[in-house]
Amino acid sequence: MEDALWKKVTRLVPAHNAGDSRCWYSHRNIVLTALWAILHDRPMVWACDPANWPGRYRPQRLPTQSTLSRRMSSKGINCVIRGVFQRICVEAGPVGEVGYVDGCALRVGGASKDRHARRGRAVGGFAKGYKLHALADSQGFIRDFRVMPLNRNEVPVMRRLVETTPELPLRIVGDKEYDGVKLHRQCQARGSKLYAMPRGGRVGRRNQPERRKCLEFLLTEAGQRLLRSRTAIERVFSRLKSVGFGLKELPAWTRTLRRVRAWITGKVLLYNVHVLMTRAKGHA
């Protein structure tokens, strides 16, 4: 399965990019080297060793660890990765009518010296680490995501997702943490509607028609069914963690926000390719 997945990944990463001519290592080589390490749950330096590549997959030039680390945070590489991610979403087809939003806590050890990790709410209490904020559709694809320290509030992150996601579902379902007037209006401005149970199960009378209409609908039988369907994103996170190359706990070599974002981005990208291939196999 991993061989087929890697072949699909190499077809999705463009062969030539603007700015490559000024670099000894192409954007494609940098991205594929990083993804090879992420696919096999190894540090980036492991993928820089030719001995860890089968001959049929090894790029002609492998960067050094310092070059790989420096280039992974550049704008050019980020544009390539974002382009690959969007290409996968295009192949996945229309986003559909219903989407789901939630966060998944990613812990680091309590004694970690990571200067960017923060303490926040996680399953079972408070923990230290980061959080993956994801917007997924009913097919299991992660359409957009952000990685933030664990103490960041979900609503501002969700507002950023609504602003930048190319295509939003008609309905976005979340838990009560996502309830807010500004977020309701932002979704409405983009042709979507947010469904999140208001905190305390009530809405003020003044200046909150969006939340009031949402509450009236969620109290109906159809609204309750919609809220129960929110478990779909829990299945997405479960699947993301259960595949062999999926997102487990953050490894010891993945610390600070820049490295954590690169690691999780690679995992989400590989997961989406896996879902795309599984769906194609099912249709066949």
| Residue 242 forms part of a structural domain | no
What pLDDT, in 10s, does the model give residues 42-85? 999 999 999 999 989 998 889 999 999 999 988 889 999 999 99
Determine if the pTM surpasses 0.85. Answer: yes
pLDDT of 284 reads 53
- C-alpha to C-alpha distance for 163 and 135, rounded to whole angstroms: 12
Provide the pLDDT confidence category of residue 23 given band limits of 50, 70 and 90. Answer: confident
User: Is residue 261 assigned to a domain?
Assistant: no
Mean pLDDT along residues 8-23: 78
Give me the amino acid identity at 122.
Answer: A
Residues 80 and 109 reside in one and the same domain: no
Q: Are 215 and 194 in contact (CB under 8 A)?
A: no
Interior CA angle at 150 toward 147 and 155, to 5°? 75
The mean of the pLDDT values for the chain is 90
Q: Are residues 86 and 116 in the same domain?
A: no
Residue 22: predicted pLDDT: 67
231 and 143 share one domain = yes
> Residue 242 has what pLDDT?
92
Tokens of 224: 């309750």
Check whether 35 has a pLDDT greater than 90: yes
Query: Would residue 32 count as lying in a domain?
Result: yes
3-state SS class at 156: helix
Predicted confidence band at 1 (pLDDT cuts at 50, 70, 90)?
low
Q: Tell whether 167 and 197 lie within a shared domain.
A: yes
Structural domain span for residue 226: 98-237
Domains identified in the chain, total number: 2
Determine, yes or no, domain membership for 254: no
Residues 59, 111 share a domain: no
Q: Note whether residue 280 is domain-resident.
A: no
Looking up residue 184, the CATH number of its domain turns out to be 3.30.420
Residue 92's identity, in one-letter code, is A
Q: Quick check: 272 pLDDT over 90?
A: yes
Environment class of residue 222 by beta-carbon count within 10 Å: exposed (0-12), middle (13-18) or buried (19+)? exposed
Write out pLDDT tens, residues 118-175.
Answer: 999 888 788 899 999 999 999 999 999 999 999 999 999 999 999 999 999 999 999 9
